[in-house]
Structure 1
Amino acid sequence: MVSPSQSDLPSYLSQPALTQYNAWGEDGQDVTQQEERRRSNEAKVLVRRTRTKEYSLITKCIAEFLGDFTFVFIGTMQAYVPNKSNDDITHAALAHGFTIFIIVASLGHISGGHFNPAITWAVTAANRMPYWHLPFYFISQLLGGFCGALMSAAILSSSQLTGTYAGATLLSPNNAWWEGLLSEALATYFLCHTVLMTAVDTDSNVLAPLAIGLTLSIDIFSTGAITGASMNPARSLGPNIVGSIFINSKDLPSNFWNHHYIYWAGPLAGGTVAALIYRLFEAREDRIVP
Protein backbone atom coordinates (compact mmCIF):
# COMPACT_ATOMS: atom_id res chain seq x y z
CA MET A 1 0.00 0.00 0.00
CA VAL A 2 1.29 3.42 -0.88
CA SER A 3 1.43 5.77 2.09
CA PRO A 4 -0.17 9.14 1.55
CA SER A 5 2.08 12.11 1.06
CA GLN A 6 2.49 14.77 3.77
CA SER A 7 0.32 17.14 1.75
CA ASP A 8 -2.54 14.61 1.67
CA LEU A 9 -2.72 14.39 5.46
CA PRO A 10 -5.24 16.41 7.43
CA SER A 11 -3.83 19.65 8.76
CA TYR A 12 -4.01 18.55 12.38
CA LEU A 13 -1.84 15.53 11.56
CA SER A 14 0.70 17.48 9.51
CA GLN A 15 1.74 19.55 12.60
CA PRO A 16 4.59 18.33 14.77
CA ALA A 17 3.29 15.75 17.18
CA LEU A 18 4.34 17.84 20.16
CA THR A 19 2.00 20.63 19.09
CA GLN A 20 -1.01 18.51 19.89
CA TYR A 21 0.17 18.25 23.48
CA ASN A 22 1.22 21.91 23.90
CA ALA A 23 4.86 20.93 24.05
CA TRP A 24 5.78 23.79 21.76
CA GLY A 25 5.52 27.41 22.77
CA GLU A 26 3.73 30.07 20.83
CA ASP A 27 7.04 31.25 19.44
CA GLY A 28 7.90 27.77 18.20
CA GLN A 29 10.34 27.06 21.02
CA ASP A 30 10.28 23.84 22.95
CA VAL A 31 8.45 24.31 26.25
CA THR A 32 11.25 22.39 27.92
CA GLN A 33 13.69 25.04 26.75
CA GLN A 34 11.41 27.81 28.00
CA GLU A 35 11.15 26.12 31.39
CA GLU A 36 14.91 25.74 31.59
CA ARG A 37 15.35 29.40 30.72
CA ARG A 38 12.84 30.42 33.40
CA ARG A 39 14.56 28.32 36.03
CA SER A 40 17.92 29.74 35.00
CA ASN A 41 16.62 33.29 35.44
CA GLU A 42 15.17 32.43 38.85
CA ALA A 43 18.49 30.91 39.87
CA LYS A 44 20.32 34.09 38.84
CA VAL A 45 17.93 36.22 40.91
CA LEU A 46 18.43 33.91 43.89
CA VAL A 47 22.20 34.16 43.55
CA ARG A 48 22.00 37.96 43.47
CA ARG A 49 19.87 37.96 46.60
CA THR A 50 22.17 35.62 48.48
CA ARG A 51 25.14 37.77 47.50
CA THR A 52 23.52 40.89 48.99
CA LYS A 53 25.61 41.88 51.99
CA GLU A 54 23.94 42.45 55.32
CA TYR A 55 24.49 45.99 56.60
CA SER A 56 26.73 46.06 59.65
CA LEU A 57 25.78 47.83 62.86
CA ILE A 58 28.38 50.49 62.09
CA THR A 59 26.78 51.19 58.72
CA LYS A 60 23.35 51.37 60.32
CA CYS A 61 24.63 53.83 62.91
CA ILE A 62 26.17 55.98 60.18
CA ALA A 63 22.82 56.03 58.37
CA GLU A 64 21.07 57.10 61.58
CA PHE A 65 23.68 59.81 62.14
CA LEU A 66 23.26 61.17 58.61
CA GLY A 67 19.49 61.06 58.83
CA ASP A 68 19.37 62.98 62.11
CA PHE A 69 22.01 65.41 60.90
CA THR A 70 19.82 66.22 57.90
CA PHE A 71 16.59 66.32 59.88
CA VAL A 72 17.84 68.63 62.64
CA PHE A 73 19.80 70.85 60.26
CA ILE A 74 16.74 71.52 58.12
CA GLY A 75 14.53 71.83 61.19
CA THR A 76 16.73 74.48 62.75
CA MET A 77 17.41 76.33 59.51
CA GLN A 78 13.73 76.61 58.61
CA ALA A 79 13.06 78.20 62.00
CA TYR A 80 14.59 81.43 60.72
CA VAL A 81 12.22 81.69 57.75
CA PRO A 82 9.02 81.99 59.82
CA ASN A 83 10.39 85.26 61.18
CA LYS A 84 9.49 86.56 57.72
CA SER A 85 6.17 84.69 57.61
CA ASN A 86 2.90 84.69 59.53
CA ASP A 87 2.30 80.97 59.11
CA ASP A 88 5.22 79.41 60.96
CA ILE A 89 3.35 76.22 61.95
CA THR A 90 2.55 75.38 58.32
CA HIS A 91 6.13 76.08 57.32
CA ALA A 92 7.52 73.86 60.07
CA ALA A 93 5.04 71.05 59.40
CA LEU A 94 5.82 70.89 55.69
CA ALA A 95 9.59 71.26 56.11
CA HIS A 96 9.83 68.49 58.70
CA GLY A 97 7.34 66.23 56.92
CA PHE A 98 9.10 66.48 53.56
CA THR A 99 12.48 65.94 55.18
CA ILE A 100 11.48 62.78 57.03
CA PHE A 101 9.86 61.48 53.85
CA ILE A 102 13.12 61.90 51.95
CA ILE A 103 15.50 60.48 54.53
CA VAL A 104 13.29 57.48 55.32
CA ALA A 105 12.96 56.73 51.60
CA SER A 106 16.70 57.05 50.99
CA LEU A 107 18.20 55.56 54.17
CA GLY A 108 15.43 53.44 55.61
CA HIS A 109 16.56 50.24 53.90
CA ILE A 110 19.90 50.48 55.71
CA SER A 111 18.99 51.16 59.34
CA GLY A 112 15.21 50.97 59.42
CA GLY A 113 14.89 54.75 59.13
CA HIS A 114 14.28 55.61 62.79
CA PHE A 115 16.19 58.90 63.19
CA ASN A 116 14.51 59.25 66.57
CA PRO A 117 15.35 57.61 69.93
CA ALA A 118 11.64 57.29 70.70
CA ILE A 119 11.03 55.29 67.51
CA THR A 120 14.09 53.14 68.16
CA TRP A 121 12.78 52.43 71.65
CA ALA A 122 9.31 51.57 70.30
CA VAL A 123 10.70 49.20 67.66
CA THR A 124 12.94 47.54 70.24
CA ALA A 125 10.14 47.22 72.81
CA ALA A 126 7.98 45.72 70.06
CA ASN A 127 10.61 42.98 69.76
CA ARG A 128 11.53 44.01 66.23
CA MET A 129 15.15 44.99 66.89
CA PRO A 130 17.86 43.52 69.16
CA TYR A 131 18.06 45.32 72.50
CA TRP A 132 21.82 45.60 72.32
CA HIS A 133 21.51 47.82 69.22
CA LEU A 134 19.60 50.39 71.26
CA PRO A 135 22.50 52.37 72.84
CA PHE A 136 24.41 52.53 69.56
CA TYR A 137 21.37 53.90 67.74
CA PHE A 138 20.76 56.42 70.53
CA ILE A 139 24.32 57.74 70.44
CA SER A 140 24.31 58.02 66.64
CA GLN A 141 20.99 59.86 66.60
CA LEU A 142 21.87 62.32 69.37
CA LEU A 143 25.28 63.02 67.84
CA GLY A 144 23.72 63.55 64.41
CA GLY A 145 21.18 65.96 65.87
CA PHE A 146 23.89 67.93 67.65
CA CYS A 147 26.04 68.17 64.51
CA GLY A 148 23.03 69.26 62.47
CA ALA A 149 22.28 72.07 64.92
CA LEU A 150 25.97 72.97 65.01
CA MET A 151 26.04 73.29 61.23
CA SER A 152 23.06 75.63 61.26
CA ALA A 153 24.83 77.76 63.88
CA ALA A 154 27.84 77.98 61.55
CA ILE A 155 25.65 79.28 58.72
CA LEU A 156 23.30 81.67 60.52
CA SER A 157 24.50 85.02 61.78
CA SER A 158 24.54 85.72 65.50
CA SER A 159 21.34 87.76 65.34
CA GLN A 160 19.60 85.11 63.24
CA LEU A 161 20.63 82.36 65.63
CA THR A 162 19.47 84.38 68.61
CA GLY A 163 16.16 85.20 66.95
CA THR A 164 15.34 81.52 66.54
CA TYR A 165 16.92 80.31 69.81
CA ALA A 166 18.99 77.97 67.62
CA GLY A 167 15.81 76.23 66.49
CA ALA A 168 15.07 74.89 69.97
CA THR A 169 11.65 73.45 70.79
CA LEU A 170 10.16 75.23 73.80
CA LEU A 171 7.00 74.82 75.85
CA SER A 172 4.49 77.60 75.28
CA PRO A 173 4.20 79.94 78.30
CA ASN A 174 0.43 79.50 78.03
CA ASN A 175 0.63 75.79 78.84
CA ALA A 176 1.52 73.86 81.99
CA TRP A 177 4.29 71.28 82.02
CA TRP A 178 1.87 68.36 82.17
CA GLU A 179 0.01 69.65 79.13
CA GLY A 180 3.26 69.75 77.19
CA LEU A 181 4.18 66.29 78.42
CA LEU A 182 0.84 64.84 77.35
CA SER A 183 1.05 66.63 74.01
CA GLU A 184 4.48 65.16 73.24
CA ALA A 185 3.42 61.69 74.39
CA LEU A 186 0.30 61.58 72.21
CA ALA A 187 1.99 63.02 69.14
CA THR A 188 4.84 60.54 69.47
CA TYR A 189 2.41 57.66 69.94
CA PHE A 190 0.76 58.49 66.61
CA LEU A 191 4.16 58.65 64.93
CA CYS A 192 5.51 55.41 66.43
CA HIS A 193 2.27 53.57 65.68
CA THR A 194 2.53 54.59 62.03
CA VAL A 195 6.13 53.38 61.88
CA LEU A 196 5.29 50.01 63.41
CA MET A 197 2.34 49.36 61.13
CA THR A 198 3.71 50.68 57.83
CA ALA A 199 7.46 50.07 58.03
CA VAL A 200 8.00 47.21 60.48
CA ASP A 201 5.12 44.72 60.45
CA THR A 202 4.14 44.68 56.79
CA ASP A 203 4.78 42.76 53.59
CA SER A 204 5.45 45.95 51.65
CA ASN A 205 6.83 49.17 53.12
CA VAL A 206 6.77 51.14 49.88
CA LEU A 207 4.33 53.71 51.29
CA ALA A 208 6.03 53.90 54.69
CA PRO A 209 8.06 57.09 53.97
CA LEU A 210 4.93 58.91 52.81
CA ALA A 211 2.83 57.70 55.74
CA ILE A 212 5.50 58.63 58.28
CA GLY A 213 6.08 62.05 56.72
CA LEU A 214 2.37 62.84 56.66
CA THR A 215 1.95 61.71 60.27
CA LEU A 216 4.80 63.97 61.36
CA SER A 217 3.28 66.94 59.52
CA ILE A 218 -0.16 66.32 61.03
CA ASP A 219 1.36 66.08 64.51
CA ILE A 220 3.10 69.43 64.04
CA PHE A 221 -0.08 71.03 62.73
CA SER A 222 -1.99 69.84 65.79
CA THR A 223 0.51 70.26 68.65
CA GLY A 224 3.20 72.57 67.29
CA ALA A 225 1.81 75.64 69.06
CA ILE A 226 2.09 73.91 72.45
CA THR A 227 5.56 72.34 72.51
CA GLY A 228 6.93 72.79 69.02
CA ALA A 229 5.95 69.15 68.38
CA SER A 230 9.42 67.69 68.72
CA MET A 231 8.48 64.01 69.27
CA ASN A 232 12.22 63.39 69.10
CA PRO A 233 14.84 63.86 71.85
CA ALA A 234 17.53 64.21 69.18
CA ARG A 235 15.60 67.09 67.60
CA SER A 236 15.40 68.91 70.95
CA LEU A 237 18.74 68.18 72.63
CA GLY A 238 21.08 69.33 69.87
CA PRO A 239 19.57 72.81 69.38
CA ASN A 240 19.42 73.37 73.15
CA ILE A 241 23.11 72.57 73.55
CA VAL A 242 24.09 74.72 70.57
CA GLY A 243 21.90 77.57 71.82
CA SER A 244 23.54 77.44 75.24
CA ILE A 245 26.99 77.57 73.65
CA PHE A 246 26.55 80.28 71.01
CA ILE A 247 23.75 82.50 72.34
CA ASN A 248 24.27 84.91 75.20
CA SER A 249 22.48 83.59 78.26
CA LYS A 250 20.78 86.98 78.69
CA ASP A 251 19.10 86.51 75.31
CA LEU A 252 17.73 83.06 76.10
CA PRO A 253 14.25 82.64 77.59
CA SER A 254 14.11 81.71 81.26
CA ASN A 255 12.54 78.33 80.47
CA PHE A 256 15.14 77.33 77.90
CA TRP A 257 16.10 74.25 79.91
CA ASN A 258 13.37 74.22 82.56
CA HIS A 259 10.99 71.93 80.68
CA HIS A 260 13.47 70.07 78.52
CA TYR A 261 12.60 66.83 80.29
CA ILE A 262 9.19 66.72 78.59
CA TYR A 263 11.00 66.20 75.26
CA TRP A 264 12.43 62.98 76.66
CA ALA A 265 9.71 61.68 78.96
CA GLY A 266 6.87 62.46 76.55
CA PRO A 267 8.29 60.80 73.41
CA LEU A 268 9.58 57.75 75.28
CA ALA A 269 6.20 57.32 76.99
CA GLY A 270 4.41 57.62 73.65
CA GLY A 271 6.74 55.07 72.09
CA THR A 272 6.13 52.69 75.00
CA VAL A 273 2.36 52.90 74.58
CA ALA A 274 2.65 52.32 70.83
CA ALA A 275 4.84 49.24 71.38
CA LEU A 276 2.50 47.90 74.08
CA ILE A 277 -0.60 48.21 71.92
CA TYR A 278 1.25 46.66 69.01
CA ARG A 279 2.42 43.67 71.05
CA LEU A 280 -1.03 43.15 72.56
CA PHE A 281 -3.36 43.56 69.60
CA GLU A 282 -1.65 44.34 66.30
CA ALA A 283 1.42 42.15 65.71
CA ARG A 284 0.57 39.74 62.93
CA GLU A 285 2.65 36.81 64.14
CA ASP A 286 3.18 37.05 67.89
CA ARG A 287 0.46 39.31 69.34
CA ILE A 288 -0.67 38.42 72.83
CA VAL A 289 -4.41 38.87 72.26
CA PRO A 290 -5.62 36.71 69.31
Structure 2
Amino acid sequence: MAGGEHGAGANGLQDQDLTGALEEGRGGVNQPAGCENSGEQALSSTSNQPMLSVQFVQKILAEIFGTYFLIFAGCAAVAVNKRTAGTVTFPGICITWGLAVMVMVYSVGHISGAHFNPAVTFAFATCGRFPWRQVPAYAAAQVLGSTAASITLRLLFGGEPEHFFGTVPSGSDVQSLVLEFIITFYLMFVVSGVATDNRAIGELAGLAVGATVLLNVLFAGPISGASMNPARTIGPAMVLGRYTGIWVYIIGPVSGAVSGAWAYNLIRFTNKPLREITRTGSFLRSARMS
Protein backbone atom coordinates (compact mmCIF):
# COMPACT_ATOMS: atom_id res chain seq x y z
CA MET A 1 0.00 0.00 0.00
CA ALA A 2 1.79 1.88 0.82
CA GLY A 3 1.44 2.97 -0.56
CA GLY A 4 5.34 5.80 -5.77
CA GLU A 5 6.30 2.47 -6.54
CA HIS A 6 7.85 2.06 -3.05
CA GLY A 7 10.58 -0.26 -3.62
CA ALA A 8 12.77 -2.02 -1.34
CA GLY A 9 15.64 -4.24 -2.05
CA ALA A 10 15.42 -7.71 -0.82
CA ASN A 11 17.39 -8.90 -3.82
CA GLY A 12 20.64 -7.05 -3.31
CA LEU A 13 19.76 -3.79 -5.04
CA GLN A 14 22.00 -0.85 -4.29
CA ASP A 15 20.78 2.06 -2.15
CA GLN A 16 20.00 4.25 -5.13
CA ASP A 17 18.00 1.46 -6.78
CA LEU A 18 16.02 0.89 -3.58
CA THR A 19 15.07 4.51 -3.10
CA GLY A 20 13.96 4.76 -6.71
CA ALA A 21 12.03 1.50 -6.84
CA LEU A 22 9.04 2.79 -4.90
CA GLU A 23 8.95 5.79 -7.17
CA GLU A 24 9.39 4.21 -10.58
CA GLY A 25 9.37 0.44 -10.09
CA ARG A 26 12.60 0.40 -12.02
CA GLY A 27 14.22 -2.51 -10.22
CA GLY A 28 17.88 -2.91 -11.01
CA VAL A 29 18.50 0.19 -13.08
CA ASN A 30 21.81 1.52 -11.82
CA GLN A 31 22.00 5.24 -11.20
CA PRO A 32 25.02 7.22 -10.03
CA ALA A 33 24.86 7.87 -6.30
CA GLY A 34 23.71 11.40 -5.54
CA CYS A 35 22.27 11.97 -9.01
CA GLU A 36 19.40 14.36 -8.49
CA ASN A 37 17.76 13.61 -11.81
CA SER A 38 17.72 9.82 -11.44
CA GLY A 39 13.96 9.82 -10.84
CA GLU A 40 13.28 11.88 -13.97
CA GLN A 41 15.60 9.68 -16.05
CA ALA A 42 13.88 6.51 -14.84
CA LEU A 43 10.45 8.04 -15.45
CA SER A 44 11.43 8.96 -19.00
CA SER A 45 12.61 5.42 -19.60
CA THR A 46 9.40 3.99 -18.14
CA SER A 47 7.21 6.33 -20.16
CA ASN A 48 8.83 5.25 -23.40
CA GLN A 49 8.00 1.59 -22.82
CA PRO A 50 4.96 0.15 -24.65
CA MET A 51 1.89 -0.32 -22.45
CA LEU A 52 1.53 -4.00 -23.33
CA SER A 53 5.17 -4.93 -22.78
CA VAL A 54 6.04 -8.00 -20.72
CA GLN A 55 7.62 -5.76 -18.10
CA PHE A 56 4.45 -3.71 -17.67
CA VAL A 57 2.29 -6.83 -17.40
CA GLN A 58 4.64 -8.08 -14.69
CA LYS A 59 4.19 -4.81 -12.81
CA ILE A 60 0.41 -5.09 -12.98
CA LEU A 61 0.49 -8.69 -11.78
CA ALA A 62 2.80 -7.66 -8.94
CA GLU A 63 0.32 -4.96 -7.90
CA ILE A 64 -2.57 -7.44 -8.00
CA PHE A 65 -0.75 -10.07 -5.94
CA GLY A 66 0.73 -7.52 -3.55
CA THR A 67 -2.58 -5.79 -2.90
CA TYR A 68 -4.33 -9.15 -2.53
CA PHE A 69 -1.96 -10.41 0.16
CA LEU A 70 -1.90 -7.04 1.93
CA ILE A 71 -5.69 -6.75 2.11
CA PHE A 72 -6.13 -10.44 2.88
CA ALA A 73 -3.74 -10.34 5.84
CA GLY A 74 -4.97 -7.05 7.28
CA CYS A 75 -8.68 -7.66 6.83
CA ALA A 76 -8.34 -11.28 7.95
CA ALA A 77 -6.93 -10.01 11.24
CA VAL A 78 -10.03 -7.82 11.62
CA ALA A 79 -12.42 -10.65 10.66
CA VAL A 80 -10.77 -13.25 12.89
CA ASN A 81 -10.66 -10.82 15.81
CA LYS A 82 -14.41 -10.22 15.53
CA ARG A 83 -15.23 -13.89 14.99
CA THR A 84 -13.17 -15.11 17.96
CA ALA A 85 -14.20 -12.45 20.49
CA GLY A 86 -11.01 -10.42 20.34
CA THR A 87 -8.24 -13.03 20.38
CA VAL A 88 -6.15 -11.09 17.86
CA THR A 89 -6.60 -7.84 19.84
CA PHE A 90 -6.48 -4.32 18.46
CA PRO A 91 -2.67 -3.98 18.80
CA GLY A 92 -2.40 -7.31 16.98
CA ILE A 93 -4.44 -5.91 14.08
CA CYS A 94 -2.16 -2.87 13.92
CA ILE A 95 0.94 -5.03 13.85
CA THR A 96 -0.56 -7.25 11.15
CA TRP A 97 -1.20 -4.26 8.86
CA GLY A 98 2.29 -2.87 9.41
CA LEU A 99 4.02 -6.19 8.84
CA ALA A 100 1.90 -6.98 5.78
CA VAL A 101 2.89 -3.68 4.17
CA MET A 102 6.54 -4.19 5.04
CA VAL A 103 6.89 -7.73 3.69
CA MET A 104 5.04 -6.94 0.46
CA VAL A 105 7.17 -3.85 -0.16
CA TYR A 106 10.29 -5.98 0.18
CA SER A 107 8.73 -8.73 -1.95
CA VAL A 108 7.60 -6.81 -5.04
CA GLY A 109 8.86 -3.25 -4.58
CA HIS A 110 11.66 -3.89 -7.06
CA ILE A 111 9.13 -5.06 -9.66
CA SER A 112 6.16 -2.68 -9.53
CA GLY A 113 7.18 -0.24 -6.83
CA ALA A 114 4.64 -1.74 -4.39
CA HIS A 115 2.07 1.04 -4.48
CA PHE A 116 -0.92 -1.15 -3.52
CA ASN A 117 -2.83 2.12 -3.24
CA PRO A 118 -4.50 4.27 -5.94
CA ALA A 119 -3.93 7.39 -3.85
CA VAL A 120 -0.17 6.78 -3.82
CA THR A 121 -0.09 6.13 -7.56
CA PHE A 122 -2.10 9.28 -8.28
CA ALA A 123 0.07 11.38 -5.96
CA PHE A 124 3.29 10.29 -7.67
CA ALA A 125 1.76 11.06 -11.06
CA THR A 126 0.88 14.61 -9.98
CA CYS A 127 4.53 15.13 -9.01
CA GLY A 128 5.78 13.88 -12.36
CA ARG A 129 7.27 10.77 -10.79
CA PHE A 130 4.95 8.22 -12.40
CA PRO A 131 3.53 8.05 -15.96
CA TRP A 132 -0.06 9.30 -16.13
CA ARG A 133 -0.97 6.75 -18.79
CA GLN A 134 -0.17 3.91 -16.37
CA VAL A 135 -2.29 5.26 -13.52
CA PRO A 136 -5.62 3.67 -14.62
CA ALA A 137 -4.04 0.23 -15.03
CA TYR A 138 -2.35 0.44 -11.63
CA ALA A 139 -5.54 1.62 -9.91
CA ALA A 140 -7.59 -1.14 -11.56
CA ALA A 141 -5.04 -3.75 -10.49
CA GLN A 142 -5.11 -2.50 -6.90
CA VAL A 143 -8.91 -2.53 -6.69
CA LEU A 144 -8.97 -5.98 -8.32
CA GLY A 145 -6.51 -7.34 -5.76
CA SER A 146 -8.51 -5.86 -2.89
CA THR A 147 -11.79 -7.21 -4.26
CA ALA A 148 -10.36 -10.70 -4.76
CA ALA A 149 -9.05 -10.72 -1.18
CA SER A 150 -12.44 -9.56 0.11
CA ILE A 151 -14.22 -12.33 -1.83
CA THR A 152 -11.85 -14.88 -0.30
CA LEU A 153 -12.53 -13.57 3.20
CA ARG A 154 -16.28 -13.60 2.65
CA LEU A 155 -16.14 -17.23 1.54
CA LEU A 156 -14.10 -18.08 4.64
CA PHE A 157 -15.93 -16.05 7.27
CA GLY A 158 -19.28 -15.13 5.76
CA GLY A 159 -20.78 -11.71 5.18
CA GLU A 160 -22.59 -11.07 8.46
CA PRO A 161 -22.71 -7.38 9.46
CA GLU A 162 -21.05 -8.13 12.79
CA HIS A 163 -18.03 -9.55 10.96
CA PHE A 164 -17.60 -6.59 8.60
CA PHE A 165 -13.91 -6.09 7.83
CA GLY A 166 -14.22 -2.89 5.78
CA THR A 167 -13.92 0.69 6.99
CA VAL A 168 -16.78 2.95 8.06
CA PRO A 169 -16.70 6.14 10.15
CA SER A 170 -17.40 5.49 13.83
CA GLY A 171 -18.17 9.17 14.38
CA SER A 172 -19.07 11.88 11.91
CA ASP A 173 -18.05 11.71 8.27
CA VAL A 174 -16.17 15.01 8.59
CA GLN A 175 -14.15 13.73 11.53
CA SER A 176 -13.11 10.63 9.62
CA LEU A 177 -12.40 12.69 6.49
CA VAL A 178 -9.99 14.96 8.32
CA LEU A 179 -8.33 12.02 10.04
CA GLU A 180 -7.93 10.11 6.76
CA PHE A 181 -6.40 13.21 5.17
CA ILE A 182 -3.87 13.62 7.97
CA ILE A 183 -2.76 10.00 8.24
CA THR A 184 -2.47 9.60 4.46
CA PHE A 185 -0.50 12.86 4.31
CA TYR A 186 1.79 11.40 6.99
CA LEU A 187 2.14 8.12 5.10
CA MET A 188 2.87 9.75 1.74
CA PHE A 189 5.35 12.17 3.30
CA VAL A 190 7.29 9.22 4.70
CA VAL A 191 7.05 7.29 1.43
CA SER A 192 8.34 10.28 -0.50
CA GLY A 193 11.26 10.67 1.86
CA VAL A 194 12.45 7.08 2.01
CA ALA A 195 11.49 5.95 -1.49
CA THR A 196 12.11 8.85 -3.85
CA ASP A 197 15.10 10.63 -2.36
CA ASN A 198 18.33 8.82 -3.23
CA ARG A 199 20.01 10.29 -0.17
CA ALA A 200 17.77 8.17 2.07
CA ILE A 201 18.69 4.67 3.25
CA GLY A 202 16.95 2.55 0.64
CA GLU A 203 17.00 -0.75 2.53
CA LEU A 204 14.85 0.77 5.28
CA ALA A 205 12.04 1.88 2.96
CA GLY A 206 9.82 -1.12 3.68
CA LEU A 207 10.42 -0.90 7.41
CA ALA A 208 9.69 2.84 7.53
CA VAL A 209 6.49 2.57 5.47
CA GLY A 210 5.24 -0.45 7.43
CA ALA A 211 5.94 1.26 10.75
CA THR A 212 4.07 4.36 9.60
CA VAL A 213 1.03 2.26 8.70
CA LEU A 214 1.20 0.54 12.09
CA LEU A 215 1.32 3.87 13.93
CA ASN A 216 -1.55 5.32 11.91
CA VAL A 217 -3.78 2.32 12.54
CA LEU A 218 -3.00 2.48 16.27
CA PHE A 219 -4.52 5.91 16.78
CA ALA A 220 -6.87 6.31 13.81
CA GLY A 221 -8.25 2.79 13.55
CA PRO A 222 -10.95 3.18 16.22
CA ILE A 223 -12.26 6.38 14.58
CA SER A 224 -12.04 6.02 10.80
CA GLY A 225 -10.68 2.52 10.36
CA ALA A 226 -7.36 4.00 9.16
CA SER A 227 -7.87 3.08 5.53
CA MET A 228 -5.35 5.45 3.87
CA ASN A 229 -6.18 3.53 0.71
CA PRO A 230 -9.29 3.74 -1.51
CA ALA A 231 -8.73 0.17 -2.72
CA ARG A 232 -8.69 -1.11 0.88
CA THR A 233 -12.17 0.37 1.41
CA ILE A 234 -13.72 -0.18 -2.03
CA GLY A 235 -12.97 -3.93 -2.19
CA PRO A 236 -14.76 -4.94 1.04
CA ALA A 237 -17.55 -2.42 0.36
CA MET A 238 -18.37 -3.97 -3.02
CA VAL A 239 -18.16 -7.56 -1.79
CA LEU A 240 -20.18 -6.99 1.39
CA GLY A 241 -22.51 -4.35 -0.05
CA ARG A 242 -21.86 -1.72 2.61
CA TYR A 243 -21.04 1.74 1.24
CA THR A 244 -21.50 3.90 4.35
CA GLY A 245 -19.32 7.02 4.04
CA ILE A 246 -17.33 5.55 1.18
CA TRP A 247 -16.68 9.03 -0.26
CA VAL A 248 -14.63 9.77 2.87
CA TYR A 249 -12.18 7.02 1.95
CA ILE A 250 -11.73 8.29 -1.58
CA ILE A 251 -11.45 12.05 -1.07
CA GLY A 252 -9.49 11.88 2.19
CA PRO A 253 -6.68 9.53 1.11
CA VAL A 254 -6.31 10.98 -2.40
CA SER A 255 -6.10 14.59 -1.22
CA GLY A 256 -3.86 13.61 1.70
CA ALA A 257 -1.47 11.64 -0.51
CA VAL A 258 -1.16 14.45 -3.07
CA SER A 259 -0.56 17.00 -0.32
CA GLY A 260 2.00 14.77 1.38
CA ALA A 261 3.95 14.19 -1.83
CA TRP A 262 4.08 17.89 -2.66
CA ALA A 263 4.96 18.82 0.92
CA TYR A 264 8.04 16.62 0.73
CA ASN A 265 8.92 18.10 -2.64
CA LEU A 266 8.97 21.53 -1.04
CA ILE A 267 11.67 20.47 1.43
CA ARG A 268 13.55 18.05 -0.81
CA PHE A 269 17.26 18.78 -0.55
CA THR A 270 18.98 20.28 -3.55
CA ASN A 271 22.54 21.45 -4.09
CA LYS A 272 21.64 23.65 -7.05
CA PRO A 273 22.64 27.30 -6.74
CA LEU A 274 19.87 29.81 -6.07
CA ARG A 275 20.19 31.42 -9.50
CA GLU A 276 19.51 28.05 -11.16
CA ILE A 277 16.43 27.41 -9.02
CA THR A 278 14.93 30.87 -9.49
CA ARG A 279 15.63 30.83 -13.21
CA THR A 280 12.68 28.46 -13.74
CA GLY A 281 10.31 31.19 -12.53
CA SER A 282 8.36 28.66 -10.49
CA PHE A 283 9.27 27.54 -6.98
CA LEU A 284 6.94 24.54 -7.20
CA ARG A 285 8.45 23.47 -10.48
CA SER A 286 11.97 23.72 -9.13
CA ALA A 287 10.98 21.75 -6.05
CA ARG A 288 9.56 19.01 -8.22
CA MET A 289 12.60 18.81 -10.47
CA SER A 290 15.18 18.86 -7.66
TM-score calculated relative to the size of structure 1: 0.72
CA contact (8 A) 2:168 2:244 kept: no
The change in CA–CA distance for 1:151 and 1:284 in structure 2 (over 3 A counts) is farther
The offset of 1:157, in angstroms, is: 4.1
* Structure 2 gap ranges (5+): 1-27, 31-45, 47-53, 272-285
Residue 260 (1) aligns with residue 257 (2): no
Deviation at 1:87, TM superposition (A): 7.2
Note the C-alpha offset of 1:162. 3.8
Q: Which residue of 2 aligns with 1:11?
A: none
Deviation digits for residues 215-243 of structure 1 (CA, Å, limit 9, x no counterpart): 00000011111111000011101111111
Question: Which segments of structure 1 move beyond 4 Å, counting only runs of 4 or more?
Answer: 283-286
Q: State the shift of 1:131 in Å.
A: 1.2
Higher relative contact order (CA closer than 8 Å, sequence separation 6+): 2
Deviation track 1:127-146 (CA, whole Å, cap 9, x = no partner) reads 21111111111010011100
1:171 corresponds to 2:172: no
Contact 1:281 1:288 (C-alpha < 8 Å) held by counterparts: no
The aligned residue for residue 96 of structure 1 is: 97
2:261 aligned to 241, 252, 275, which one?
275
- Unmatched 5+ stretches in structure 1: 1-47, 245-255
Corresponding position of 1:58 = 57
Contact 1:72 1:148 survives alignment (8 Å): yes
- Once residues 239 and 166 of structure 2 are traced to their aligned partners in structure 1, the CA distance between those partners, rounded to angstroms, is 9
8 Å CA contact 2:124, 2:261 repeated in 1: yes
- Conservation of the 8 A alpha-carbon contact between 1:281 and 1:289: no
Write the distance in 2 (CA, Å) between the matches of 1:49 and 1:67: 22
Residues 126 and 278 in structure 1, CA contact (< 8 A), matched pair in contact too: no
Q: How many residue pairs are counted as aligned between the two chains?
A: 224
Q: CA RMSD in A?
A: 2.3
2:206 is the alignment partner of 1:209? yes
Per-residue deviation, 1:184: 0.4
Deviation at 1:163, TM superposition (A): 2.6
Matches within 5 A, 1:54-203: 56-83=55-82, 84-85=85-86, 88-157=89-158, 161-165=160-164, 167-172=165-170, 175-203=171-199
- Deviation digits for residues 176-201 of structure 1 (CA, Å, limit 9, x no counterpart): 21111000010101111111110122
Distance 1:199-1:85 versus aligned 2 partners, 3 A rule: same
Secondary structure of the structure 2 residue equivalent to 1:113: coil
| 3-state SS of paired residue (2:202) | coil
User: Contact conserved, 2:181 with 2:252, CA < 8 A, in 1?
Assistant: yes
Per the alignment, residue 287 of structure 2 pairs with 287
Larger radius of gyration: 1
Per the TM alignment, residue 289 of structure 1 is displaced from its structure 2 partner at its CA by: 10
